[in-house]
Amino acid sequence: MPRSFQRLFLALVALVPFVAGCQATQDVETLFLPDREDWKRVHAADDGHQTVVEFVPQGQELAAWRELITVQGLDDRRPREAPTKTMGALRDAMRARGGKLEWSVIEESADSVLYEWTLAGAPGIEDQGELARLVLGKDAMHRAAYAYKGLPLAPERRADRLALLRNARVVKGAKEAQAAIEEFFPEYRKSP
């Protein structure tokens, strides 16, 4: 598989091996994030009910990240709730860090919320921000986030990362994953 294709569906590939080991007979629901940039996985965890996978650009490490993509499948044992309610709990947790928190909702629907925040002047935390999207799937809530250190984020970078998050989608099983890959990356369409 060409290196450029490996990075195209970074979240999809990163999450499926964890959950697939636990549920080999079931299709796995995960978040497809169609990013053409070259990221490397630096952290992954799965406890059978929730997953988290984190990526940084090539040349960075998790301990000293400047840009970070996080893809999560939130705890599937939690009661189903609107993404805006989940976002509210995340906002409350962020407020507890101190400093000046600015939080805004960019777009919302019944099954998704796209939001951003910046945090400045928090004790022991470098000024940073995040663009994130929560998407309610059939099995769980999913979250994709692009975090960055150093404020402000360049407008072109913000627009690019918002486009990426808007294209994130929940997929379940190999057929839906393949359809998403073909939609966003037709050059990798399987030949008949």
pLDDT band at 174 (very low <50, low <70, confident <90, very high): confident
Domain containing 166 — which CATH number?
Answer: 3.40.1000
Give the per-residue pLDDT at 182. 83
Q: Average pLDDT of the chain?
A: 86
Give the per-residue pLDDT at 147. 98
Residue 7, CB-side half-sphere exposure with 13 Å CA sphere:
13
Q: Residue 14 is part of which domain span?
A: 3-188
- Residue 154 sits at φ, ψ, to 5 deg, of -60, 140
pLDDT band at 36 (very low <50, low <70, confident <90, very high): confident
Query: Which percentage of the chain shows pLDDT scores above 90?
Result: 66
Residue 167 near residue 155 (C-beta atoms within 8 A): no
Residue 93 near residue 75 (C-beta atoms within 8 A): no
Residues comprising the chain, all counted: 192
pLDDT band at 189 (very low <50, low <70, confident <90, very high): low
Residue 31 near residue 71 (C-beta atoms within 8 A): yes
Distance CA 157, CA 178 (A): 28
143: pLDDT strictly greater than 50: yes
Six token digits for residue 86: 């989940």
DSSP 140: S
127: pLDDT strictly greater than 80: yes
Q: Domain count of the chain?
A: 1
Average pLDDT over residues 169-192: 79
Q: pLDDT digits over 40-94, tens only?
A: 999 999 998 899 999 999 999 999 999 999 999 998 888 889 999 999 999 999 9
Average pLDDT over residues 159-176: 93
